[in-house]
Amino acid sequence: KWRDCRMLMVCHHIDINDQNKYFRDFWRSRVRISEREVDDSDMLVQRHTLFGHGWDSFAEEHVSHFRCLFDYTDMPFDSQNCKLTFFIPDVLDSVIRLEWGSPGVAGQEMSNAE
């Protein structure tokens, strides 16, 4: 029997987080980031949002540690940029949208002495 949420409860969306018993039944992407060294698994939160028109939006939030090389030639007037290389197996880049959440990407603040 088909149970379309639009017919049953006029739903706009349903959230299924990683604590839900059905969460593992959904496909989710396996994102690899080349520069990642370690993830803090205690901070991992994943969820699917199922919209009434059939779209499934997958989101994950986690804390990771990255390392990149710095060039201190112009110190103390230098600026540093680190590159993150995302790889999602078997998914075309034309169908992926990556968004930085709020407050976005953050790092530990460092002084010139560190």
Q: What is the pLDDT of residues 56-109, one digit of tens each?
A: 888 888 788 888 888 888 888 888 777 888 888 887 878 777 776 666 665 666
Cα–Cα nearest to 48, from 76, 67, 20, 69: 20
For residue 109, CA distances in Å to 54, 106, 112 come to 42, 9, 10
Residue with tokens 């028109």: 53
- Evaluate if residue 112 carries a pLDDT over 60: no
Determine what percent of the chain is predicted with pLDDT higher than 90: 3
Q: What is the pLDDT of residue 21?
A: 92
Cis status of the peptide bond prior to 89, with omega within 30 of 0 = no
Which of 1-15, 27-41, 56-70 is predicted least confidently? Answer: 1-15
- Looking at residue 11, its pLDDT comes to 65
Q: Residue 110 pairs with which residues in a beta bridge?
A: none
Is 60 exceeded by the pLDDT of residue 2? no
pLDDT at 114: 46
**97: Cα within 13 Å, side-chain hemisphere:** 5
Most confident of 19-23, 26-30, 79-83, 100-104: 19-23
pLDDT band at residue 1 using 50, 70 and 90 as cut-offs: low
